[in-house]
Structure 1
Amino acid sequence: MKSRRWRFYVFVVAAAILLVTALGATAFFATDAGRNAYAEARNRSPQSLIRYTLRRLEGHPKLEWIAHPGLYALQRHYERTPPPGSLPTLGKGQQTTQVATPTADASATVRVDTEAGILDALFNAKPGTRIVIAPGQYRFNKTIRLGQDGRPREPISVRAIVPGSVRLNFTHTQGILVDRPYWTFENLDIRGACAPQEDCEHAFHVVGAAAFTTLRNNHLQDFNAHIKVNGLNGEWPDHGLVAFNTLTNASARQTLGSVVAFDLVGASHWKVQDNLVTNFAKLHGNRVAYGLFMKGAGESGRFERNLVICSPSGVSEPGERVGISFGGGGSDPGVCREDGCRAFEHRHGLAANNIVAHCNDSGIDVNGSSNIVVAHNTLINTAGFSARKGSTKVRLLSNLYEGHVSTQQSSLPEMEWNVKAEPATLFMNPDGLSFLWLDRPAGVPSRAFVTIDFKGTRREAITLPGALDERLP
C-alpha cells in the first residue's frame, strides 16, 4: 500500500513539474526574448541543440540524471554509429600508382638516400631539378627549408618513385616550410612523431611567395593542421593544388590549437581535389575541428571530389567536427588579406561533387563568406548545411543530403533542385559508404560549371543530384 501511495505521489509531483514547465515555457515564448530564442532554435540543427543542452546541464547532477537518457537516445538517432571496420576510400586519397606522369624536361635529377642529403638537395636545388628520394624512413628534428625558386617552365619537384615508399618522420613543429614558388611534392608518406603530440603542427607549411605549389599523392598523418597555407610579409601563396592526398590522424589531437586537416588563410585560387580527409578531432580547448577550410579574405577556392569522413567511429564523442567550410571559425583581422576580412572570409568559392560523412556538425558550412556555390554534394550522417555570421549570396544547388539547412545571422541560401532524403531509402548501405542505388531520385538539369561527378564521369544534360551520377535512360 505504501509503495502504491509513494508511486502516486511521485506521479503527481512529476505531472505538476511538467505542467509548471509547460506554463513557464508558454509564457516565455510569448515574450520578444522567447520568440527570438524559438527562432534561433529553429535555425539550429538537432545535433547542435542536443550538444548545447548537454553543456548547459553540466554541473547539475540531478537534472543530468533526469535528462541524460532522453538526450542520449536522441543523439543516437541523429548521429548514427558507422559500421565497424575500415570504410572504403572510394578511390580518393593517396594512390598506389602514379597520379601524374613526371615531366620529361627536368634539367637535372638528384638522387638522395640520407637525411643530410635531403636537407642539402632541397636547399640547393636549382630551377628544373627533380629530387628523387630513395625508399626508406628518414627522421628529422628540424624543419626542412627550401633555398631557391622554381619557375613556370622549370618547377622543382621532390618525389618518391613508388608512392608511399618514402617515409619522412618529423618531431618538430612543422615538417617542410614551402616559401618558394613552383615546387611540387608527390608520393611521400609524412608522419608526425612528436612528444607531446600537440607539437606536431604541420606536415607542409606553405607561406608568402610560394605560389603554384603542388602537393600530390601524399599520405600525411598525425598533425594538427596537416597542410597550412597563409600569407607572409604581404605576399600570398596563390594558385596551389592539393590532389589525391590522404590527410588523417591515428587518434584525436591533444592540443589547444587549431585542428584543421587543410587550413588555408588568405590565399586565392587554390584547388583541393580528390583527397581523402578522415579522423580529425580535437580534445582540448573549444574542441571544434574541421576537415577542410578556406578563410582570411581569399577568393576563388575550389573543393572538388573529396571524400571527408569526420569520424570513422565515435561520431558522438565530445566536441564538434565540421566537414568542409568556407570561413572556418573566422579569422583574426591581423592575418587577413587586404581588408582584414571586414567584407568576407572567402568569396567566389565552389564546393562540388564532395561526399561528406559521419560529422556531428555541419557537413558543409559557410561562415562570413560571400558568393559561395555548393553544388552536387552528398551528405551522409551529418547535421547538413549551415550559413552563418553574415554569409551572403550562398547557393545550394542539386545536392543530396539528410539533415538541416541552418542559418544564423545570415540570409537564407538560394536553393534549387536539392533533394533531402533518408539515405537508407536511396542507397544499399550509405553509412558504410556503399552507394549502389536502391531508388534513384529524379534527374536534374546539369550545371555548366559541374561537368563531371565524384568519380570523374562526365555528366549528361540531365544528371542526378548529389556527388554520384549514373547515366539516366
Structure 2
Amino acid sequence: MRRILLLLLVALVGTLIAITVLLLRQYEFSKLRAEFNQRTAGELIRYARVRLIGHQFLEPLLLPALNLAESQLQRPVPTTKLPNLSKGQQAQVLAPQRYESSGAPVAESALPSPGLPGNTWSELRVSNVAELSKAMQTVKAGQTIVLAPGRYRISEVLSTAAAGQRDMPITVKAQKVGQVRLDSTASDIFKINHPFWVFENLHLRGACPDASDCKHAFLVQGAARSTVLRNNLLEDFNSHLQVNGDDDQWPDEGLVQFNTFTNTRPRDTAMVVAPINIIGASKWKLADNKLSNFVKTGPGRSSFGVLIRGAGHGNRVERNLLVCTPQQIAQPGIRTGISFGGAGSDPQFCRDQRCEFEQQASMAINNVLAHCNDFGIDVHRSASMLIAHNTLINSAGIDVRGSSSNATVYGNLLDGRIRERDGAQAKAGMNEVLDLSEYLEAPDALRLNGRRSIESVPALPLVKEDFCGATRQSATQVGALAETGASCAQSQARP
C-alpha cells in the first residue's frame, strides 16, 4: 500500500511539474491561470502529453507519470454488465411504421406488432445475396423485401433504385429479430438515395480486416428523405450510419429508433469514428437507441457517439442511452457522447457552403450518458440549442464553446461541470451538479432509482416526456427521469 501511495504521489507531482513547465513556455502567467480555470484535468494532461512529444529528456521522464495520473483521475466502469434500460434493439417486432401528413416518420412506442399477416402480393422474399441485390433494383413503392433466416456475406454495396411513397414505403426486413445477419467486407452495406425506405429487425456487422474499409452500415444521401432505421443491431463500423447531402439535395426528416450501435473492438483508423454521423441534414429524430463502445485508436483518437454538424437544423436526440466505454474508461482515446459541431466541418460539405453555424435549433433531451472520458454533451459553433433533462454520469459534463454558440441548458443532472468558453453563451438554469452516488442507487452501474429526493423544477413545453416516454407533470425532476422508480430504468442487461 505504501508503495502504491508513493507512486501516486510521484505521478501527481510529475504531472503538475510537466503541465506547469510546458504551459509556462507558451503562455503568460495570466493566460496560464485562465487556462487552468477553463480546462478539465483530463484536458490538461492530454495537452501536456502532446507538448512532451519530442523532448529528449522530459518525455521518458514525465510521460509515465502523466499516464498514471490520468488513469487515477478517471473513475472506473463497474465490471458487471450494464443494463440496456429498455433502449436499443427490442426482442419483439415493432408495430408498422406510420407517417405524418407532411411525410415525416412517427416515432413509435416499443409495443409489439399485433402479428397480422402481411400482404404476400407485396412481398419479395429472398434467401441469398444475389436475390437481395436483384430485389433492391426491382422493388417498387409499397413492396417489402423479406430476408429468409440465415447469414448473408456482403462484398458489394447494395443501392436503392426506386422511391417509396408516404403511404407506400419500401421496406427491407427480417421477419423476426435475430434471424438475419449481414456480414460485410464492403465499404457500405446499404446506400440509400431515394425517399421512404424502411430497414428493420436486421443484424449488420462489419467484417473487414482493416477497420478503415468498413465505413458504414447505412449511407443515406441526397434525395433519401424520410429514411427509417428501426430495431436493428449494427456493429463494427466507423460510422454505422452516415447521412449527408448529394447533388445539392439533402435527406431530411429521417428516423432512427430502437437500434443498437456498438463495436466489439477499438477502431484503428484515421477516419471519423461516430456511430451516428449526420452532416448537413435537418429534422432527423434519434430516439430510444443504445450506443456504446465507440473507441478510436487511430490518428486523432477522438470519437463521438452522435455527431451532428454541417449547417443542419431542427435535429432531435432524445431518450437514448450512450455508454462511451462499457469497460476500461482509461483506455487510449478521447470519447464524447453527443456533439453538435464536433471539430467543425469543411465548408464544401455544409448545407450553406460556409457553415456559419454547425447546427441551429437542435436539441438533446432526456438522454442518459455514461463513462465518457471527455464531455458527455458538446455544443460547438451552434445557435439556439436546447440541452435539457439529460443525466450525465462519469463524464466531464456539458460544454458550450465558440463565439457563435448559444444554448439553453436546463434541468440536467450531472456529476461533471457545465462550461461555456471561447465566447459562447449558455443560459443555464435549474441544473443539478452533484455527487450522483448520494442521490441515485448506483449511477455508475446505471441503476438510476432515487436514494434521496431532488427538488422539482418547472417542466419545459418542449420536453413533454422523459427518458422512459412517461409524461412530465408541470413540476418534474431534473435529469432524464421524471420520477424515481421508473420502470424502463430497471431493465436488466440482455446478452
Letter in 1 for 2:252: D
SS in 2 for 1:198: helix
Aligned residues: 451
- Residue 264 of structure 1: aligned partner: 278
Select the structure of larger CA radius of gyration: 1
Shift of the alpha carbon at 1:461?
A: 1.1
SS in 1 for 2:45: helix
> CA 1:362 to 1:306, structure 2 compared with 1: closer, same or farther past 3 Å?
same
> CA 1:117 to 1:314, structure 2 compared with 1: closer, same or farther past 3 Å?
same
Q: Is the 8 A contact 1:460 1:471 kept in 2?
A: no
- Residue 185 of structure 1: aligned partner: 199
- Residue 220 of structure 2: aligned partner: 206
Letter in 2 for 1:189: H
- Residue 467 of structure 2: aligned partner: 454
- Residue 9 of structure 1: aligned partner: none
SS in 1 for 2:31: helix
* Separation (CA, whole Å) in 2 of partners of 1:138 and 1:464: 47
Shift of the alpha carbon at 1:142?
A: 0.3
Q: Is the 8 A contact 1:367 1:389 kept in 2?
A: yes
* Separation (CA, whole Å) in 2 of partners of 1:179 and 1:304: 26
SS in 2 for 1:292: strand
1:323 aligns with 2:337: yes
- Residue 147 of structure 1: aligned partner: 161
**Structure-to-structure mapping, 1:213-252, within 5 angstroms:** 213-252=227-266
Q: Is the 8 A contact 2:363 2:387 kept in 1?
A: yes
- Residue 29 of structure 2: aligned partner: 34
Q: Is the 8 A contact 1:159 1:186 kept in 2?
A: yes
Q: Is the 8 A contact 1:44 1:407 kept in 2?
A: no
Unaligned runs of 5+ in 1: 1-13
- Residue 8 of structure 1: aligned partner: none
- Residue 360 of structure 1: aligned partner: 373
Single out whichever of 116-125 and 63-72 deviates more from structure 2: 63-72
1:91 aligns with 2:86: yes
1:115 aligns with 2:129: yes
> CA 1:206 to 1:428, structure 2 compared with 1: closer, same or farther past 3 Å?
same
Shift of the alpha carbon at 1:86?
A: 2.0
Shift of the alpha carbon at 1:60?
A: 4.6
- Residue 57 of structure 1: aligned partner: 52
Q: Is the 8 A contact 2:400 2:406 kept in 1?
A: no
**Structure-to-structure mapping, 1:273-422, within 5 angstroms:** 273-341=287-355, 343-422=356-435
SS in 2 for 1:260: coil
Letter in 2 for 1:461: S
- Residue 7 of structure 1: aligned partner: none
Shift of the alpha carbon at 1:68?
A: 5.7
* Separation (CA, whole Å) in 2 of partners of 1:183 and 1:172: 21
* Separation (CA, whole Å) in 1 of partners of 2:218 and 2:140: 20
Q: Is the 8 A contact 1:45 1:406 kept in 2?
A: no
Shift of the alpha carbon at 1:455?
A: 0.9
Q: Is the 8 A contact 2:281 2:313 kept in 1?
A: yes
Letter in 1 for 2:277: D
Letter in 1 for 2:455: A
* Separation (CA, whole Å) in 2 of partners of 1:299 and 1:277: 22
Q: Is the 8 A contact 2:220 2:244 kept in 1?
A: yes
Unaligned runs of 5+ in 2: 1-9, 99-115, 486-495
* Separation (CA, whole Å) in 1 of partners of 2:70 and 2:452: 27
- Residue 95 of structure 2: aligned partner: 100
Percent of aligned pairs sharing the same letter: 39
- Residue 101 of structure 2: aligned partner: none
CA deviation profile, 1:107-162 (whole Å, cap 9, x unmatched): 71111111111111111111100111111100110000111000111110111111
Q: Is the 8 A contact 1:198 1:254 kept in 2?
A: yes
SS in 1 for 2:131: helix
Shift of the alpha carbon at 1:378?
A: 0.5
* Separation (CA, whole Å) in 1 of partners of 2:68 and 2:433: 23
* Separation (CA, whole Å) in 1 of partners of 2:266 and 2:226: 32
1:127 aligns with 2:141: yes
Shift of the alpha carbon at 1:37?
A: 3.0
Q: Is the 8 A contact 1:137 1:169 kept in 2?
A: yes
CA deviation profile, 1:303-342 (whole Å, cap 9, x unmatched): 001100001112122220000011122111111002420x
**Structure-to-structure mapping, 1:419-458, within 5 angstroms:** 419-458=432-471
SS in 1 for 2:28: helix
Q: Is the 8 A contact 1:362 1:383 kept in 2?
A: yes
Q: Is the 8 A contact 1:351 1:375 kept in 2?
A: yes
Letter in 1 for 2:41: P
Q: Is the 8 A contact 1:369 1:390 kept in 2?
A: no
TM-score when scaled to structure 2? 0.86
Shift of the alpha carbon at 1:50?
A: 2.1
Shift of the alpha carbon at 1:200?
A: 0.1
For residue 255 of structure 1, the aligned residue among 251, 255, 269 is 269
Letter in 2 for 1:459: R
Q: Is the 8 A contact 1:391 1:411 kept in 2?
A: yes
Letter in 1 for 2:460: R
Q: Is the 8 A contact 2:449 2:484 kept in 1?
A: no
For residue 70 of structure 2, the aligned residue among 67, 71, 75 is 75
Q: Is the 8 A contact 2:287 2:319 kept in 1?
A: yes
TM-score when scaled to structure 1? 0.90
For residue 160 of structure 1, the aligned residue among 144, 164, 174 is 174
Letter in 1 for 2:215: E
> CA 1:99 to 1:78, structure 2 compared with 1: closer, same or farther past 3 Å?
farther
